[in-house]
Structure 1
Amino acid sequence: MDIYSSKLPPAVDYGAGAFLLLIAILSVVGNLLVLIMAYKRSSHIKPPELLSVNLAVTDLGAAVSMYPLAVASSWNHAWLGGNATCIYYGLMGFFFGTASVATLTVMAVVRFSVSLTLQSPKEKISKSRVHVLLLGTWLYALLWALFPLLGWGRYGPEPFGLSCTLAWGEMKDHSPSFVISMFSMNLAIPAIIIIFCYFGVALRLYVSYKSMDNGNLIPNNVKMQRRLMVIALLISIGFLGCWTPYGIVSLWSIYSSSASIPPYVSMLPCLFAKTSTVYNPLIYYIFSKTFKQQVKQLLCPTNRTGTCYASQPNNGTENAIYLVCDRNKHKEGLSAQLSLDKSREIETQLNSSSYQ
């Protein structure tokens, strides 16, 4: 039997292709929005936020480089391109997946280091240092992705025939050291570091809250760190949660014959793992006021339904901008702004005259 032919009924293949197409669209749109928002405020972006931008790049790269081929192969009821595209697909998946894990690990370490001095208004990490860390994540991912091409490890088709990844069943005899090293360095150790760091951040926030006499007067930077920790923690949980079932099935195929795994059992964790590229923009939209308001500003129509204007929020924990589409309110906002500018101009003139 051809290793690149589907082991599933055509109806299941068509359904899997439609599901992957939906995931691809959501991933591209969501992560493009993250990158557009980051570009629009690039002059004000803080160093730790670059890690979230890098995560969006890895998700977008995976969606663009992999999902179209997977969708076309599913609807073809056989893998397209044979060995060459299989190696390409496996390399891209391993490369972007490792880059995502490395970025999440660095994000956790940075969040932990920032939490050590919550009361300090100074920036805890410079952009140059974050750039070095980001470069390190990409080089680390590239090194691991190249190992199978250099003979340590191997790329091959999935048991159900319509996807390619590391050839787990073959590597248990040819490269057992690669399997142990890969799972240790790219799953187990990163997961331990992430859990330890966010536990440390939560403990630090708890101590900060307890040390304050009045719990209602919590500094804005502490509130912001709490919100950022929740977002980063949910992103990490989402990624690890998506890939853990796939990792379990992969380990099973190493220590047992892949033929003992039904095609459906091997396909479902693979599809579930690919949803990891969609979660991050959704988490940003739900839990980040700034991101939600920027998306609304981008999508808010300005020609017929009204003009978007910004008003400062009451709660400044995230420097959020609330957007409203209303012509009358827009005029009122402009009038208020003009009055404020005029009063500032008069005050400046009075101050200038008093010094003469």
Structure 2
Amino acid sequence: MDIYASALSPGMDIGTGCFLLVVAVLSIVGNLLVLVMAYKRSAKMKPPELLSVNLAVTDLGAAVTMYPLAMASAWSHHWLGGHATCVYYALAGFFFGVASIMNLVILAIVRFIVSHNMQSPKETISWRTVKLLCVWIWIYALLWALLPILGWGRYGPEPFGLSCSLAWGAMREEGFSFVISMFVFNLLLPSIIIVCCYFGISIKLYITYKKSGISCNRMPNVIRLHRRLLIIAILISVGFIGCWTPYGMVSLWSIFRGIDNMPPEVSLLPCMFAKSSTVYNPLIYYIFSRSFKAEVHQLRCSWPLQKVCHMTHSMEDNTIYVLENNGKSQPTFQEPTETRLANTS
């Protein structure tokens, strides 16, 4: 039996390839826009913004290094390249997946720290700290990705034959400790930390709002800002964890119950859903971040074929106010991008 042959129908293979094509295009275009916007305003970049840029790099890296091979294999009805490309694909997927989840954990922690200093323009996170955190994220992800090659765990084809990942079925006995450790340290604990951090931020914002003693219509801009940034950060985290949880559940099922009685389509859908996680972050930025949407619009208006461009900015978009001890909102400093990607960290 050829383990790299597709277990799906030819029509489903073509559909899978088309789905991956759409995901790849949206991921590459969206995350490139995030990087372009970060580059354009690099001179004004705050230290935490590097984490948002790093997250875009992980999504872009997954889309570029993985999806073209998966698309070609789907349209060929057979995994291309055999064992060598299978290990490469699985390693890349595990590497970028772990890097993404750990990036989200660091984002949540930094966001929590920043929320406790929301009424002061003083920097709480230094460039050196953020750079070290980014380096740690990549090293941590690389170590986990190399473990199956070094003998703890194993890479192999997915049950439907058009993708490769951790060989869940083959690790029921020899790699069981790896699977449990991987789920605890790269899914369960990160999810708990993210939930606790954002719950703490919500409590902090609620307490700050109550202490202000003013109505909702007169809520200080700094609280509005942090509330919007909290929504963006939560959506990013929920999107990633939500996309990968079904795949994790199916993988655990294959560990405890085996994959022989699992239809190929059942293993396909969670895998495709997990791959779509690289699309959501730019969409969330575009929908909920006014400055990111404005910058994308401005970039589009700068194209040669675009003749007319109208941009509007309000005082609320460009100024941050802090709540003074006397309960009045007074302007303390200006920040050109009210919902910049940096502040999601």
Q: So what's the TM-score if we normalise by structure 1?
A: 0.87
Question: Which has more radius of gyration?
Answer: 1
The offset of 1:217, in angstroms, is 3.9
Match of 2:53 in 1: 53
8 A contact 2:28–2:63 mirrored in 1: yes
SS at match of 1:207: helix
Unaligned 5+ runs, structure 1: 322-356
* Residue type of the alignment partner of 2:258: S
* Pairing of 1:237-276 with structure 2 (within 5 A): 237-276=238-277
Aligned-partner Cα distance in 1 for 2:149–2:182: 15
Cα distance change, pair 203–309 in 1 and its aligned pair in 2 (3 A) = same
Greater mean deviation of Cα atoms: 133-142 or 211-220: 211-220
SS at match of 1:260: coil
The offset of 1:118, in angstroms, is 1.9
The offset of 1:49, in angstroms, is 1.6
* Pairing of 1:1-356 with structure 2 (within 5 A): 1-215=1-215, 216-301=217-302, 306=307, 308=309, 312-316=313-317, 317=320, 319-320=336-337
Aligned-partner Cα distance in 1 for 2:196–2:249: 22
RCO greater where, 1 or 2, for CA within 8 Å and sep 6 or more?
Answer: 2
The offset of 1:117, in angstroms, is 2.2
SS at match of 2:156: strand
8 A contact 1:313–1:320 mirrored in 2: no
Aligned-partner Cα distance in 2 for 1:305–1:76: 40
Cα distance change, pair 219–270 in 1 and its aligned pair in 2 (3 A) = same
* Residue type of the alignment partner of 1:293: A
Deviation per residue, 1:299-328 (Å, 9 max, x gap): 11565654546554231357349xxxxxxx
* Residue type of the alignment partner of 2:229: L
* Residue type of the alignment partner of 1:108: A
Aligned-partner Cα distance in 2 for 1:176–1:257: 13
8 A contact 2:6–2:77 mirrored in 1: yes
8 A contact 1:301–1:307 mirrored in 2: no
Cα root mean square deviation, aligned: 1.5
8 A contact 2:20–2:70 mirrored in 1: yes
Aligned-partner Cα distance in 1 for 2:114–2:97: 26
Cα distance change, pair 280–305 in 1 and its aligned pair in 2 (3 A) = closer
Aligned-partner Cα distance in 2 for 1:167–1:47: 39
SS at match of 1:173: coil
Match of 1:345 in 2: none
Greater mean deviation of Cα atoms: 44-53 or 105-114: 44-53
Aligned-partner Cα distance in 1 for 2:283–2:303: 25
* Residue type of the alignment partner of 2:129: R
The offset of 1:50, in angstroms, is 1.3
Aligned-partner Cα distance in 1 for 2:74–2:311: 46
SS at match of 2:212: coil
The offset of 1:164, in angstroms, is 0.2
SS at match of 1:4: coil
Match of 2:329 in 1: none
Q: Determine what percentage of the aligned residue pairs are the same residue.
A: 61
Deviation per residue, 1:111-164 (Å, 9 max, x gap): 111111221221111111111111100000000000001000100000011100
Aligned-partner Cα distance in 2 for 1:265–1:117: 47
Aligned-partner Cα distance in 1 for 2:42–2:310: 21
8 A contact 2:294–2:311 mirrored in 1: no
8 A contact 1:73–1:162 mirrored in 2: yes
Deviation per residue, 1:273-301 (Å, 9 max, x gap): 11000000000000000100000000115
8 A contact 2:239–2:280 mirrored in 1: yes
Aligned-partner Cα distance in 2 for 1:114–1:189: 22
Aligned-partner Cα distance in 1 for 2:172–2:231: 39
Deviation per residue, 1:245-282 (Å, 9 max, x gap): 00000000000121111100000000011100000000
Count of residue correspondences: 321
Greater mean deviation of Cα atoms: 166-175 or 282-291: 166-175
Aligned-partner Cα distance in 1 for 2:305–2:28: 28
Match of 2:330 in 1: none
Aligned-partner Cα distance in 2 for 1:112–1:131: 18
8 A contact 1:27–1:277 mirrored in 2: yes
